[in-house]
Amino acid sequence: MLVQQKQNIKGFTLLEILVVVAIVGIVSLVGYPRLDAWVSKNRVKAEAEKITSLFATVTSQVERGYYPYAMIEFESGSPTVIKAKGVSQNSFNQRIKKPGAPAIACARSDFTGWDLAAGSAGKEWQEIGRHTMHEDIYLDKLTQATGGTNKTICFSKGGKYFKPPSGLGYKLFDGETDNSKSTTNYVTICHENSSACDTANNSFDLEKNYDAYLVRYSRFGLITKYRWDFNQTKWIGY
């Protein structure tokens, strides 16, 4: 009986293995482009969420009084690094009361120690957070910026020392189809493979393969998120 059982056990033939491999290959070829597109679309959304979160953290801590003054810097490069830092009330008071001190300009030089390690002597800037963007992500306004490499946005409690984008290029955003609400205080996030990412002209990926997101902020710390609706050809809050 044991001999009979051994005789009934058969392996796969070479032809059967080749057929299975061919089927797996075909399924992979069909499914991979869709998976890749899904990953790319979700990557844009994920990056928009992370930028929103960083903005919200900064503005929340400023309005709560943890930092009377804070700066978000877009460090241009591949990939782009976004850094957020603030200064203590004591450092801020000393700076604005210092005789002959230049006006606060929303720059690293406003306070000391931007590049110094935490705990270094003389360091006034304190890190709030940072985010290194994925290399596939394209920031519309940062790419169109002129003058200098790094771009900055500054917030202060109550908006008194709020500084709009430094060098980010002034483009109008008409999210509510109301010209009175047009603003320059936003960052648009697209995929680098999008055929278009032009916020000023409401022109985005013509093939509709890649979504576009927009993070809008105010001098008082209000952060809102939008997604470009290709069917309605306008920004939709979400």
Residue 131 forms beta bridges with which residues?
Answer: 82
Hunting for tokens 């960083």 — which residue is that?
54
Q: Is the pLDDT of residue 14 over 50?
A: yes
List of residues 6+ apart from 84 with CB closer than 8 A: 54, 57, 58, 70, 71, 72, 73, 127, 128, 129, 130
Using an 8 Å Cβ cutoff, are 195 and 206 in contact? yes
First to last CA, the chain: 70
Based on its alpha-carbon atoms, the radius of gyration of the chain, rounded to whole angstroms, reads: 26
- 178 compared with 68, residue with greater pLDDT: 68
Q: Is the pLDDT of residue 74 over 80?
A: yes
Q: Is the pLDDT of residue 184 over 70?
A: yes
- H or E element: which one contains 36? helix 14-63
Using an 8 Å Cβ cutoff, are 158 and 215 in contact? no
* Spatial separation of the C-alpha atoms in residues 61 and 221, rounded to whole Å: 10
- 98 compared with 53, residue with greater pLDDT: 53
Distances, alpha carbon 43 to alpha carbons 35, 38, 96, 143, in Å: 12, 8, 42, 19
- Residue 152: pLDDT band with limits 50, 70, 90: confident
* Spatial separation of the C-alpha atoms in residues 128 and 57, rounded to whole Å: 8
Percent of the chain scoring above 90 in pLDDT: 27
Torsion of CA 85, 71, 200, 148, to 10 degrees: -100
Predicted pLDDT at 51: 94
**Of 32-36, 109-113, 130-134, 200-204, the least confident:** 32-36
- Residue 179: pLDDT band with limits 50, 70, 90: very low
Would you tell me how many other CB atoms lie within 10 Å of the CB of residue 159? 13
